[in-house]
Amino acid sequence: MAGFLEGLYITVLGVTVVFSVLSILAIVMYGIGWAERRLVEKEKPKREEKPAGRREEVKTEEKLDEKKVAIITAAIMAYLSQKRPKEVLIKRKPSQNWWLSGLTTYVEEVENFNYELGKW
């Protein structure tokens, strides 16, 4: 009974140590994240507030003409159609290693068969 209690004590002690170390690690990681967020917020440039009466000018990007997009796409497709990979036939060449592996497997099966016959 004393051995069982000692094992239980060691188990509880081990689990306690593991979870306390994990808790400390989680707190340290949270602190590092908090400090990093604070540093990033300090480095961000502050926005200049404009008076309420003014509107911000919105810049619009020029859209490409659909005709130009079609021409560019056709040119790319024509270029890529010439660069198709060629099919290469792969010829099988039997390897000596596979032959040896098959031979040893066959020999093992024959040996096992002979041992099984000897039991009868």
Q: How confident is the model at residue 24 (pLDDT cuts 50, 70, 90)?
A: very high
Token match 């306690």: residue? 16
Q: How confident is the model at residue 60 (pLDDT cuts 50, 70, 90)?
A: low
- Gap between the Cα atoms of 5 and 12, Å rounded: 11
pTM: 0.35
| Domain regions of the chain by residue span | 12-44
